[in-house]
Copies of this chain bind each other. A is one copy, B any other.
Amino acid sequence: MIIVTSNKGKYREYKEILGGHFNLKLMLMRYPEEQLDTIEKVAERSVYYLSGIVNDDFFIDDSGLFIEAFKGFPGVYSSYVNKTLGNEGILRLMEGVSNRTAEFRTCIAYYDGKLNIFTGKVQGTISETARGKNGFGFDPIFIPSGHKLTYAEMALEKKNSLSHRYRAGKAFLKFLTKKAI
């Protein structure tokens, strides 16, 4: 099984989420992503591009943080916004905004001759300050519902037992296990 990504943080998480079930290999590369309004659509287009150049079953992960008060911003552009505005920028935007609800979403797009989509979502809130050093991206400012710690304050195993990526990965694993029987 190959994961195509330019983000080593995602690779690390999938190694743990998919566990010993599969021999996960990393193809470290960038690939075209279209400007579309859902992570599923973005992933779908990228998979069709990659299917022409990757000679084995593979998957990609498109994830994003969707903030309710900002109509889903940064959403599909989470990676770009994280690099330009950073967590500090998001916290600045949230100042004085009472609705701090946000959702982290992952879409796994798996190609084995045809496209298979698995999604995972976790509701939560944007924290008042950035906290924690684990994970990557917006992890220091996202508190999943029912918890007090941000993703970045949790041990990797903890985050990987409840995250949006874990949820998508679980559905993916179920599909793969069924397929292998």
Residues of A in contact with B (beta carbons under 8 Å apart): 32-35, 42, 45, 70-73, 75, 77, 80-81, 83-85, 89, 92-93, 95
Q: Is the interface of A mostly helix, strand, loop or mixed?
A: helix
List of B residues within 8 angstroms of A34 by Cβ: 32-35
29 A-B residue pairs with CB within 8 Å: A32-B34, A32-B35, A33-B34, A33-B35, A34-B34, A34-B35, A35-B35, A35-B42, A35-B77, A35-B80, A70-B84, A70-B85, A70-B89, A71-B83, A71-B84, A73-B80, A73-B81, A73-B84, A73-B85, A73-B89, A75-B84, A77-B77, A77-B80, A85-B93, A92-B92, A92-B93, A92-B95, A93-B93, A95-B95
Copies of chain A in the complex: 2
Query: Smallest distance from the beta carbon of A85 to chain B beta carbons, Å?
Result: 6
User: Once the chains bind, are B89 and A93 in contact (CB under 8 Å)?
Assistant: yes
**A161 CA to B42 CA, complexed, in Å:** 38
List of B residues within 8 angstroms of A95 by Cβ: 92, 95
**A42 CA to B33 CA, complexed, in Å:** 11
User: Once the chains bind, are A72 and B84 in contact (CB under 8 Å)?
Assistant: yes
Which chain B residue has the least Cβ–Cβ distance from A84?
B73
Query: Smallest distance from the beta carbon of A124 to chain B beta carbons, Å?
Result: 19
List of B residues within 8 angstroms of A45 by Cβ: 32
Query: Smallest distance from the beta carbon of A91 to chain B beta carbons, Å?
Result: 10
**A35 CA to B85 CA, complexed, in Å:** 17
Query: Beyond the given A85-B93, A95-B95, could you list 18 further A-B residue pairs with CB under 8 A, ordered by the A residue number?
Result: A32-B34, A32-B35, A32-B45, A34-B35, A35-B42, A35-B80, A70-B85, A70-B89, A71-B84, A72-B84, A73-B81, A73-B84, A73-B85, A73-B89, A75-B84, A77-B77, A89-B93, A92-B92
